Chain A
Amino acid sequence: MAFSPYIDAFTDYLRTGDTRGMNDYCVDATQLKRLAVYRNGFYKGCIDALAANFPVCEKSLGREYFNQLARLYVDHYPPEIGTLVGYGEYFPYFIRDLLEVLEQQESMRLSASLVDLARLDYAWLTSLMSADATQTLTAEKITWLVEHGEDFTQAQVTLSASVDLLRVNAGTLNQWLGFKTNSPDVEPLVLLPEGHMNLSELSQADSAPAVDTVMFWRLNDAVQARLLSVPEVALMRALQDVGVLEKAFAAALALDPSFDVSEVFSACLQNEILDIDLTKYNYKN
């Protein structure tokens, strides 16, 4: 019996459920239906991982409905690497694409906010698993720079690896937090026509002012989340793009001259969201 054809037949079975290719490899053809143990195990592992990685989506839809959606995802985007940690990278976009298809089917409705809930779920997970900060900018380091005659506002800084910024429809973060914390005030997602927001509405919302920017970051092993004000968004984006504090402050102040830079900067330090490489300054702790 050749090995590769066996693997090919088994692979085909796992992907399609068609047992015919496995006939030649089973001692007792009447037991072929037992192959389902392996296929079920494959789907269960993937679906359980998606439920763990998208807990708010799962809660908002209910497990049964979530499982249907997750199974479709597994069919389209099966895992490629030998771990399910982080599986579901494309899940939010899969939901978005599915919405497009389902828009034309009156029998099945998904709330457009599900896309944002999935994005928030994955951003939270990504922040949770991101690399530990090793070069956190602290008040002590700033003092050291000043004492050594350096203008710290010109220093190159970066956002910590755990920081993630994403734009979502207004109000979605509160909805997500409600599910995440099992708040009794949160209603399950409405799967009926009146609760449906179609993609064109979603598109309008995305370009309209009713969009929130959410920042996730990790502090003391716990993921934090908050909405950013417009000048805060400008500051963070400038830090992401340019990485110079003075320019980031200027970007924020350009939008709101009354913006309290020192207060936000202090909060950044307390929350350990900025990194700085002090190697070129010969800094020694």
Chain B
Amino acid sequence: MEQVRLKANVSSPQQSRLAGAQLGAGLGLKLEHLDDILALPRADTLPAVESLWFEVHTENYFVAGGPRLNALRSIRDNYDVSFHGVGGSLGYDHQSMHEHIQQVKALINEFQPVLVSEHAVWSRSGGTYFADLMPLPRTQDALQSLVDGVDRFQSGIGRRILIENPSNYLDFTSEMDEPAFLVEAARRSGCGLLIDINNLYLSSKNTGIDAAQYLSQIPVELVGEIHIAGHDPDPELGQALLIDSHASPVDLAVWELLQYALTLFGHQPVLVERDANLPPFAELMNERQQAQDCLEQCRHEAASANVSLGEIR
């Protein structure tokens, strides 16, 4: 196993100027865990719960009423929440966005999420919603289309959003690399970036990019949130193709890359995502605590510390 030592080349990472900077480590909300969450001690009585927050997939709450919304209300009464969209299709087919945006806006108005994010992908075309995060080619045309989508989305909801880097499984013909593409999209639209460390790790393994170099191209002031998650090897191709499954614990290499990212970006809200093969809530809280520990370490260590990074290349 190749071991790569990287030296963070920033002396003092700036704090993010985006909303949510006060958040610590959070968890993706699974309603299966609702009772466990509501049974947690209050934050003022248990330090471990302090700065805990929850993220939801916005579209799961596109309902008129009922227990799902009430569950989210009960969470919101006790914790900060963030909205993470998966169906906005910012990269293409903006004509169909209006109703979608209106529903997001209605939820935002009620729940006042600390952060609102989406993906730098497309998912709708020809009247069909493809229910997954489809890659954009990194071309000027696609970039402008993404910027237009972000513009429309932000204008519609009246909020700045973050857009997330995708997991890449193969290379498409491109005119620029992904950091340049995302940074330019952010510059033109005024949005921020959500850096998904697991996605980046998968992209580095699947397409051979340099994860550390990638991160070094992201201006700290654009970063507003970090995601980590588990992945799994493709059933056929094995380790040659890693899949963003969100069905496993966070991999050691992803934890290490998170540590490195935090030395570059400073304290950021870090979310542990788990969407399938759900473990007991206590296990997720352990992972969340590990992320919180990383944030504490980041807070206390000198930013110029050497970070040992395994299997990045």
Interface residues on B, range: 35 or more
CA distance A82 to B100 in the complex (A): 7
Contact partner, B170, options A26, A45, A86, A130, Cβ 8 Å: A26
Contact partner, A7, options B125, B131, B241, Cβ 8 Å: B125
For window 1-41 of A, CB contacts with B under 8 Å fall at 1-3, 6-8, 10-11, 14-15, 24-28, 31-32, 34-35, 37-38, 41
CA distance A26 to B169 in the complex (A): 11
How many residues of chain A get a CB closer than 8 Å to chain B's CBs?
Answer: 45
Assess whether B132 is in contact with A3, with CB atoms less than 8 Å apart.
no
Residue B28 lies at the interface, judged by CB distance under 8 Å to chain A: no
User: C-beta contact mask, A63-81 vs B, less than 8 Å → 1, else 0?
Assistant: 0000000000000001111
Contact partner, A37, options B139, B141, B171, B243, Cβ 8 Å: B243
Assess whether A82 is in contact with B124, with CB atoms less than 8 Å apart.
yes
Assess whether A85 is in contact with B137, with CB atoms less than 8 Å apart.
no
Residue B87 lies at the interface, judged by CB distance under 8 Å to chain A: yes
Residue A83 lies at the interface, judged by CB distance under 8 Å to chain B: yes
CA distance A31 to B173 in the complex (A): 13
How many contacting A-B pairs (Cβ < 8 A)? Answer: 136
For window 170-184 of B, CB contacts with A under 8 Å fall at 170-173, 175
User: C-beta contact mask, B105-135 vs A, less than 8 Å → 1, else 0?
Assistant: 0000000000000000011111111111111
Distance from A70 Cβ to chain B, minimum over Cβ atoms (Å): 13
Assess whether A37 is in contact with B234, with CB atoms less than 8 Å apart.
yes
Assess whether B171 is in contact with A79, with CB atoms less than 8 Å apart.
no
Residue A137 lies at the interface, judged by CB distance under 8 Å to chain B: no
CA distance A278 to B95 in the complex (A): 40
Residue B63 lies at the interface, judged by CB distance under 8 Å to chain A: yes
Comparing B38-46, B65-73, B302-310, the segment that makes contact with chain A is B65-73
Chain A residues, CB < 8 A from B65: 129-132, 161
Chain A residues, CB < 8 A from B171: 26-28, 31
User: C-beta contact mask, A34-64 vs B, less than 8 Å → 1, else 0?
Assistant: 1101100110011001000000000000000
CA distance A86 to B60 in the complex (A): 10
Residue B24 lies at the interface, judged by CB distance under 8 Å to chain A: no
Residue B201 lies at the interface, judged by CB distance under 8 Å to chain A: no
